[in-house]
Amino acid sequence: MNTSVKVLLVFGSVLVLSRVSDVLRKRIPGISQMVANTASEASELLADNHFDVIVMDIHLPDENGIKFLGNLSLQHPLTTLIVFTSDAEPAIKKICIENGAHKVFADPSDLTKAIDFIKKYQKTKTKRK
């Protein structure tokens, strides 16, 4: 039996958000997800909901994604943070990790790796119950 994993997706691009949402829904049994196109929308959802995992882009239309990531890691320390970025430079990855990201993936080519990471989280959560 798979334990439900509650995921918040935060992507500024509606197309990327839709694609990631569809793929996660098809590939991860028991996933529960909510979506946001901006940091503001994500903050509203976070005020009323707990998420096990947040999958986000650092390119958000209303706020610096790195700053938002840092705030998320401080305000939600038990939430696993996964970042997608088209900035493949090692310095960007390092900055994301320093600001609380648990994993940083290239966008969108590493979606399969992100799915595997979420499935591992799901198995760990199942064992804790």
Q: What is the pLDDT along the chain (129 residues), one digit of tens a residue?
A: 457 899 999 999 999 999 999 999 999 988 999 999 999 999 999 999 999 999 999 999 999 999 999 999 999 999 999 998 888 688 999 999 999 999 998 756 688 889 999 988 888 875 554
* Whether the Cβ atoms of residue 76 and residue 31 lie closer than 8 Å to each other: no
Write down the pLDDT at residue 87.
80
Hey, what are 109's tokens?
A: 């080519």
| Residue spans of beta strands (DSSP E) within 1-91 | 5-10, 31-36, 53-57, 80-85
In the CATH scheme, what architecture does the domain 5-58+65-128 have?
A: 3-Layer(aba) Sandwich (3.40)
**Separation between Cα atoms, residue 129 and residue 124, nearest integer Å:** 9
Domain extents for the chain? 5-58+65-128
User: CB atoms < 10 A from the CB of 1, how many?
Assistant: 6
**Tokens encoding 18:** 């839709």
CB 103 within 8 A of CB 75: no
- pTM of structure: 0.91
CB 102 within 8 A of CB 52: no
Q: Residue 54 CA to chain centroid, in angstroms?
A: 3
